[in-house]
Amino acid sequence: MAQQRLENPVAVFSGLDKITGRLTDFDVFIDETVQFGALQVTPRVCKTSAEGEATQTDAFVEVDEITLDREIRRIFSGWMFAASPGLNAVEHPVYDVWLKSCKTESDVPAPSE
């Protein structure tokens, strides 16, 4: 039997600045873009297992890098899995970003329509 998947309006990420060692958690609404260092993180979908199912959380995410020439370059586009953060990781020399969870609401204000 196929697992039922629930779509959530908010993806929760962790970001690591490898130079300072600072770890930051941040919420991003689906189809919104948040900047973390030189990276722009845009989740397109964030799904979790239905209640009573084996816990599984994944998101389709696009990550762009703003280069020193102020150009935007896509460095990641694909599925991230909260249970396996290293499986599809963002490869960047200064910043790491990975999916922590999905949720239905956030303390961050929702984007205006």
pLDDT confidence of residue 65: 96
For residues 46 and 11, give the distance between their C-alpha atoms in angstroms, rounded to a whole number: 6
Sheet of 10-17, strands arranged across: 23-29, 10-17, 95-103
Count the neighbouring beta carbons within 10 Å of the beta carbon of residue 105: 10
Q: Judge if pTM exceeds 0.85.
A: yes
Tell me the pLDDT of the chain (113 aa) as tens digits: 455 789 999 999 999 999 999 999 999 999 999 999 999 999 999 999 877 777 789 999 999 999 999 999 999 999 999 998 777 778 899 999 999 999 998 888 877 75
pLDDT reported for residue 1: 46
Q: What ranges do the domains of the chain cover?
A: 5-102
What is d(CA 29, CA 110) in angstroms, rounded to the nearest whole number?
Answer: 7
